[in-house]
Amino acid sequence: MQASDRIALLSAHVREEIDHWVSKFPAGRQRSAVIGALHAVQHENGGHLTSELMEAVAAYLDIPSIQVFEVASFYSMFETRPVGRHSVSVCTNISCMLCGGEQLLAHVEKRLGIRIGESTPDGRIFLKKEEECLAACTGAPMIMVDHRYYENVTPARADEILDALE
Amino acid sequence: MSQDKCTIQVNGVEVEARPGQMLIEVTDAEGAYVPRFCYHPKLSVAANCRMCLVEVENAPKPMPACATPVAPGMKVHTKSRKAIDAQRAVMEFLLINHPLDCPICDQGGECELQDLAMGFGRGVGRFSEAKRVVRDTSIGPLVSTDMTRCIHCTRCVRFTQEVGGLQELGTMGRGDRVVISTYIEQGVNHELSGNIIDLCPVGALNSKPFRFSARAWEMEQRPLIAGHDCLGSHIFAHLMGGKVKRVVPAACEEINETWASDRDRFSYEGLDAPDRLAEPLLRENGHWRAASWDEALDAAAAGLRRAGGDLAALLSPSATVEEGYLLQRLLAQMGSASIDHRLRRRDFRSQDTEIEVPWLGMPVADVERLDQVLVVGANLRKEVPLLAHRLRKAAVRGAGVAFLNPARYPMHFPVADALQGTPADFWLHLATLVRAAAQGGETPPGMAELLGKAPAPEERHRQAVARLREGGRSAILLGNIALRHPRFADIDVLAAALARLTGSTLGYITEGANAAGLALAGALPHREAGGRARARAGANAAEIIARPPAGLILFGIEPGLDCPGGAGWQRAPAGGRFVVAFSAFRGESLPALADVILPIGTFFETDGTFVNGAGQWQSFSAAARLPGEARPGWKVLRVLAERLGVPQPGQATAAAIAAEVRKLAGEVMPDALARQRPASAIAAAGEVSLQELDLPMYQVDALLRRAHALQLTADGLAGSMPEGERLTA
């Protein structure tokens, strides 16, 4: 596939977003815009990246595809396979663990019938794998749903939050 | 003390250093060994293995020597308690996930990790949890992967990115799950990819063709000169029982640095080809039979004598100086000057006025110091991979490297301009460039007709000329495509004119390993040994191929594959023509054509000399054992000369022959611009296809055509044609 065909996979809005990130770095350092570019692409693609999209980003930034894949595989906020619509993270790092985060995670897993790293069969919820500290220790235990923080979460509160997701 | 020098202390000894230089360079120069895995002098500093931690006084923690710049007055200890403790701790971490499979690992015995574990590791591991396992993916036919052994030093990643110019490997994932891998199951296809085998400090990346076939300590190492391109790279052959098991580069900063191209590294596989000749073959009543040397040589001598003076010889451009010299002398004594090694050349109009010995016009290492380069007619990465690497270094440094080619070849570095035209006419750009360069001044004499054909200069032509004139060192290099072109004489005259007008050097990237050496040895129809013109020129390669004489000697070639037009050769009716072939392989075209086939050695098995593209004479001794009755080519030539009644006195060794040629050749290589060269008579427009001009890189000689793993690479399978052209081929 030609580079121009690959780039065609990116919407005008995504390209604008990428240009914005590229403009923040010195000329020739467009590799630095990969994280911003992948965020934009993933957001538009329902929460995950495909190899075609990663190649499109590489072609748009004029860098080797492998450099995009390196970044996508490094950061936990990028998903490289299809996942559920809503991303749910249950923190089990120290503060949350001490306040019952692990029990909360067990409850959520049981309720959804999936293990961490899996999505519900109806494609509604993706339970993110092993989230590290999300810096909300004062409200432990916490969960994050689609970038929104919920603090001091009890199992009952978790049920409410999950049930409210479309 | 001057600004650019400072003094530091290494283990209590005062040492001079450059401020800003990394500590490890200073300790290495001082001979104070610091263990390391990720540091490599040819690659950028990663500082991710942490093995080179040393103690620096007044620094709170041990510092990585590879990433700590020297500062005046620094006091460094490489063997103090603190340094050794840090190194031992790092070693323990590195070994946590490294498998204990040294007995079945090809790297065992020559492994940096194994060696350092001996020096810095503990006798007993404290880590009792499960080690991680990494699933292997195939990255191609040349490099085997055992990624469980990987310690993530990223030397291979940095090599593909910084030296190859095309990042084919990357670090995926993070933390304890990081793996080195290609992009989603793609292979590593670069023509220098084999170097990651040498760079890998552990057994994660190894040679696939060599896999499990010998242990490092069982082999002996013999130095050699690689015989597939005009660079003359230094290599080591590793042998067991007289057989080549593998080839690795030998460090030679001025030629191949520490690298080897895949072609030089893996061509040895062809030595064991099923059609390797181990005894002389004789045609008898239309059938081939094995013969003794006596029989075969007598038959060859008798047949050639019958041909009288109507004799010619074609030899491989990778034959040695000794072989070329003896062959042309034998022919001269039989009364013929029809000998040529320029098998794929099509245009000989200018042979009397062009440079006596085609060469780069400069030392190999100087190529990377050029400021402006125009490469004309070269698929450079495939023709001479390590010369392309030198040009890449120049371009990365900021030099302007422009190409004029009949196709667009991807270069993996910023290209100043890529002028392009059809295979038949791309060179007309050169005439336009000369017009642009001559604008306002006088056009070079005698070239009016050539220049008249050229389109008027456009802005990019004027810019190309301006770049060459810009100052600094500039060069015009003519590659294999130019040398094979049906209008080479015109290309050469125009290139010389452009070089003169812009103050550039003119150089040639020649075919085979020894085009310069064979020109000096007199393996040319119009020049004798040493480069002087012959009184009466013989037939050139094209004439010999078009009208084969009564007696023909083929040396180290397969006519069907090495000579354009040779594929159409028919065997003359009995008694019509007599063909003696010297060859390491039987092949298909030789048995169809020859009357006697004499088995000879390749450069792995022969004493010999190559003169590389920089004019360096490089002699080597036979490394491997010859199969069966096969003999070195130069010895066979000596005996054949005796049987023909034209003995060659006083040349009992290859070294003596080479010395004789060298005396004739002198020490100075010719200057391509030393003499005025007149434009040749205009030739009829020569139609030519890209496939005829640009050969697949692993098809250029008989040995390579039989190198199995190379044939399975992307270049081997597809040839070196650019994608668009390949489809129309």
* Interchain contact B173–A (C-beta under 8 A): yes
* Interchain contact B699–A (C-beta under 8 A): no
Is the interface score ipTM higher than 0.90? no
Tokens for B400, please give them. Answer: 């302007």
Chain B residues 603-662 within an 8 A CB cutoff of chain A:
none
Domain stops at, among A74, A100, A128: A74
* Interchain contact A65–B (C-beta under 8 A): yes
pLDDT reported for residue B8: 94
* Interchain contact B691–A (C-beta under 8 A): no
Same domain, A94 and A34: no
Please report whether residue A18 resides in a domain: yes
Query: Is B224 exposed, middle or buried, given 0-12, 13-18 or 19+ CB atoms closer than 10 A?
Result: buried
pLDDT in tens, B414-467: 999 999 999 999 999 999 999 999 986 777 777 888 888 889 999 999 999 999
In a 13 Å sphere around the CA of B415, the CA atoms on its Cβ side amount to 16
Same domain, A90 and A150: yes
Q: A132 lies in which domain range?
A: 86-163
* Interchain contact B177–A (C-beta under 8 A): no
Q: What residues in A contact B175, CB-CB < 8 Å?
A: none
Q: Is the pLDDT of residue B2 over 60?
A: no
In a 13 Å sphere around the CA of A97, the CA atoms on its Cβ side amount to 7
Average pLDDT for B240-264: 97
pLDDT in tens, B613-640: 999 999 999 999 999 999 999 999 999 9
Collapsing DSSP to helix, strand or coil, B648 comes out as: coil
Please report whether residue A141 resides in a domain: yes
Most confident of B1-15, B113-127, B218-232: B218-232
* Interchain contact A3–B (C-beta under 8 A): no
- Percent pLDDT > 70 in chain B is 97
Chain B closest CA to A142's CA: distance in Å?
A: 25
Query: Is B318 exposed, middle or buried, given 0-12, 13-18 or 19+ CB atoms closer than 10 A?
Result: buried
Please report whether residue A23 resides in a domain: yes
Q: Do A69 and B169 touch (CB under 8 A)?
A: no
Mutation target among B172, B176, B185 for the A interface, most CBs of A within 10 A = B172
Q: What residues in A contact B172, CB-CB < 8 Å?
A: 69-70, 73-74
DSSP string, B114-176: HHHHHHH--SS----SPPP--------SSEEE-GGG-----HHHHIIIIIISS--EEEES-GG
Same domain, A103 and A40: no
What confidence category does residue A122 fall into, taking pLDDT thresholds of 50, 70 and 90? very high
pLDDT in tens, B239-251: 999 999 999 999 9
Same domain, A10 and A47: yes
Q: What residues in A contact B171, CB-CB < 8 Å?
A: 70, 74
Average pLDDT across chain B, whole number: 92
Q: What residues in B contact A49, CB-CB < 8 Å?
A: none
- Whether a cis peptide bond, with omega within 30° of 0, leads into B62 is no
* Interchain contact A74–B (C-beta under 8 A): yes
Distance CA B401, CA B417 (A): 7
From residue B577, give the alpha-carbon distance in Å to each of A131, B265, B335, B595.
82, 39, 17, 9
* Interchain contact B182–A (C-beta under 8 A): yes
Q: What residues in B contact A64, CB-CB < 8 Å?
A: 166-168, 183
Chain B closest CA to A163's CA: distance in Å?
A: 33
Same domain, A68 and A7: yes
Q: How many CB pairs under 8 A join A and B?
A: 29
* Interchain contact A52–B (C-beta under 8 A): no
Q: Do A74 and B174 touch (CB under 8 A)?
A: yes
Residue type, B527: R
Chain A closest CA to B147's CA: distance in Å?
A: 17
Q: Do A69 and B172 touch (CB under 8 A)?
A: yes
> Minimal Cα distance from B188: which residue of A?
A66
pLDDT reported for residue B573: 63
pLDDT reported for residue B185: 67
Residues near A38 by Cβ (< 8 Å), separated by ≥ 6? A49, A54, A57, A68, A71, A72, A78
Average pLDDT for B95-122: 92
Collapsing DSSP to helix, strand or coil, B606 comes out as: coil
Average pLDDT for B375-383: 97
What confidence category does residue B227 fall into, taking pLDDT thresholds of 50, 70 and 90? very high
Q: What residues in B contact A66, CB-CB < 8 Å?
A: 167-170, 182-183
Same domain, A69 and A97: no
Please report whether residue A138 resides in a domain: yes
pLDDT in tens, B558-612: 988 998 877 777 776 666 789 999 999 999 889 989 999 999 999 999 999 999 9
What confidence category does residue B137 fall into, taking pLDDT thresholds of 50, 70 and 90? confident
Q: Characterize the bridge pairing of strands B287-290 and B311-315.
A: unpaired
Q: What is the CATH number of the domain that holds A91?
A: 3.40.30.10
- Percent pLDDT > 90 in chain B is 81
From residue B336, give the alpha-carbon distance in Å to each of A32, B551, B578.
68, 10, 15
What confidence category does residue B144 fall into, taking pLDDT thresholds of 50, 70 and 90? very high
| E strand spans, A3-128 | 86-90, 125-127
Q: Is the pLDDT of residue B263 over 70?
A: yes
Average pLDDT across chain A, whole number: 93
pLDDT reported for residue B719: 61
Same domain, A38 and A63: yes
Average pLDDT for B70-91: 94
CA angle B446, B447, B452 (to 5 degrees): 135
Same domain, A60 and A99: no
> Minimal Cα distance from B183: which residue of A?
A66
Q: Is the pLDDT of residue A76 over 80?
A: yes
Same domain, A122 and A97: yes
Q: What residues in B contact A74, CB-CB < 8 Å?
A: 171-174
Return left, alpha or beta for B98; rule: phi > 0 is left, psi -120 to 50 is alpha, else beta: beta
Cα-based torsion angle of the residue sequence B358, B361, B367, B370 in order, rounded to the nearest 10 degrees: -140
Q: What residues in B contact A51, CB-CB < 8 Å?
A: 184
Total domains, chain A: 2
Average pLDDT for A59-66: 94
Domain stops at, among A52, A74, A96: A74
Place of tokens 């099923």: B274
Please report whether residue A9 resides in a domain: yes
Chain B closest CA to A79's CA: distance in Å?
A: 12
The angle that helices A51-61 and A65-74 make with each other, rounded to 10 degrees, is 120
The DSSP element (H or E) to which B611 belongs, if any, is strand B608-611
Same domain, A97 and A137: yes
Q: Do A66 and B174 touch (CB under 8 A)?
A: no
Q: What is the CATH number of the domain that holds A61?
A: 1.10.10
Q: Do A70 and B168 touch (CB under 8 A)?
A: no
Same domain, A62 and A94: no
Please report whether residue A80 resides in a domain: no
| E strand spans, B276-347 | 281-284, 287-290, 311-315, 339-340
Distance CA B516, CA B616 (A): 9
Average pLDDT for B649-674: 89
Average pLDDT for B121-144: 90
Same domain, A95 and A59: no
Average pLDDT for A86-101: 93
* Interchain contact A80–B (C-beta under 8 A): no
Q: What residues in B contact A67, CB-CB < 8 Å?
A: 167, 170
Q: Do B170 and A67 touch (CB under 8 A)?
A: yes
Residues near B354 by Cβ (< 8 Å), separated by ≥ 6? B489, B492, B677
Domain stops at, among A74, A99, A119: A74
Please report whether residue A81 resides in a domain: no
What confidence category does residue B649 fall into, taking pLDDT thresholds of 50, 70 and 90? confident
Q: Do A69 and B171 touch (CB under 8 A)?
A: no
Please report whether residue A79 resides in a domain: no
